[in-house]
Chain A
């Protein structure tokens, strides 16, 4: 039985990473109805920035805030320069544009840092806690802690600050938000910046586990899609819960279902996406999907 719980703990650890990228996806979706297919690549790019800084001798805890700030600015700039002209346009166009962004950012990272794999030190100490025979590594605990902290900060931002209130208003009804004097364009840019920042955190968390290369986040993005779909694309809480469920489902099925093994593990999030979309398209916590006609 402790073997089972061990798998659950492992799953929560990776689930927290999926949750953080899913959170980034949801942040943008809530504001703009856009699913950013380049979300993972932006996170990967941010991770490279952190790596570059630490490789140049900047201590990690200084490199982190710099990276987050740069990521925020990057998100704002991308919204302003690339996404803004397409907002409110056909969904097809926006999806294609973010796919273009995906391809571009991926290649750009390859151009700057090459496609060779780099190893990234973990920000968390080695070691583990033993809880009733279940081994919980500090890495897992740290990851969960960071995601909980991000979640908490976002909650405070949205519920307790004026700009958070404005962001919720824009997410709910941009036209009415304009009528109360909210500069919607700025709020959307802010949303992209926040999303890029949260995504950067997920990249920095996952890089020590998977090693860093330009394709770092491709797989993680699929899990994050599954997490966001399961939780509901417009629900931050759903993204986190969905991420944890997807992580646990992944490790459990990998460990206990022989047919899946390690090579078909990617089928787990894909199956979750397909099943959720067919059975309950709005996910666990999402609001009803309104068909655009």
Chain B
């Protein structure tokens, strides 16, 4: 990890299974390759295992199989150790530190970094992406609106200088306008920071616009994979799996 900007890393997942205790396996052997600096969307209906996939990658739930980030194995490590290897997970429901100020949230996001100058620069960049956070830097995170909290959660993840950014349903509970703005920023971040992004979304339309590749997950298995344009063109097929058009 360089002092200034980290660059994205390639994610290679093979035969990933995960679940919650015996008899409740959610993922049944997923293969997924995300190129460095790519945005990859994972689509699928509720309960397909999208959240579990991200949780397994970040160590929140235990995954089996292989998942490597530029050759470094991610599985079998605690979440804090995965984070220290450059994976920033923005969980569903955002997971901001509600009792801490906006700025403290961002600073704690850079907890594992030792380069003070880099952290200050990263803080400025996050405020650049999300000016509203700069305005509210002294407020507690709990007092922010839903959209602002989501921005804070993404901003906090950026502070880690991640090589891989995992976004879980960033549109959840947000208005379409704010969601669109958020995805625009995610795209900008991906372009400028060269961060690899895996985004899990119900809003397939927006996700496909943002991502270069997409995978459709159903009942713990990928049923459709390909370039975003291809998936979109294959709208008929997707509709069959997703239950809604793209």
Chain A residues in the interface with B (C-beta under 8 A): 162, 165-166, 168-169, 171-173, 175-184, 287
B81 → chain A, closest Cβ, in Å? 8
* Pair A178/B78 contact, Cβ less than 8 Å: yes
The minimal Cβ–Cβ distance linking B51 to chain A, given in whole angstroms, is 14
Annotate B37-66 by CB proximity to A: 1 below 8 A, 0 otherwise. Answer: 000000000000000000000101000000
* A181-B95 in contact (CB<8A): no
Chain B interface size range: 20 to 34
Complex CA–CA separation, A162 to B107 (angstroms): 9
Residues in A neighbouring B100, C-beta threshold 8 A? 165, 168-169, 172
User: In the complex the two chains form, is B111's CB within 8 Å of A179's CB?
Assistant: no
A172 and B89 contact, Cβ closer than 8 Å, known pairs A165-B111, A180-B160, A183-B80? no
B97 at the interface (CB under 8 A from A): yes
Which of B58, B95, B111, B112 has the largest number of chain A CB atoms within 10 A?
B111
Which of B89, B97, B107, B156 has its CB near the most chain A CB atoms (within 10 A)? B97
Proximity string of chain B (66-95) to chain A, C-beta cutoff 8 Å, 1 when within and 0 when not: 000000000000111101100011010001
Can you report 21 A-B residue pairs in the complex whose CB atoms are below 8 A from each other?
A: A165-B104, A166-B108, A168-B100, A168-B104, A168-B108, A169-B108, A172-B97, A173-B98, A175-B91, A176-B96, A177-B108, A178-B60, A178-B78, A180-B83, A180-B109, A180-B156, A181-B80, A181-B112, A181-B160, A182-B111, A183-B80
Q: How far is the CB of A214 from chain B (nearest CB, A)?
A: 38
B98 touches A179 (CB 8 A): no
Assess whether A181 is in contact with B91, with CB atoms less than 8 Å apart. Answer: no
Kindly list chain A residues whose C-beta atoms are within 8 Å of the C-beta of B104.
165, 168-169
Question: Is B83 in contact with A165, judged by CB distance below 8 angstroms?
Answer: no
The 10 closest A-B pairs by CB, nearest first: A181-B83, A181-B112, A178-B79, A176-B95, A172-B97, A172-B99, A178-B80, A169-B108, A181-B84, A179-B89
Give complex CA distance A184, B83 in Å: 13
- Contacts A165-B104, A168-B104, A175-B60 given; does A180 touch B98 at CB 8 Å: no
Interface contact A179-B58, CB-CB below 8 Å? yes
Min distance, Cβ B102 to any Cβ of chain A, angstroms: 13
B97 with A179: CB separation less than 8 A:
no
Q: Does A180 contact B108, Cβ atoms closer than 8 Å?
A: yes
The chain B residue with its CB closest to the CB of A171 is B99
If A165-B104, A168-B104, A176-B91 touch, does A181 touch B111 (CB 8 Å cutoff)? yes
Q: Which residue on chain B has the smallest CB distance to residue A186?
A: B80
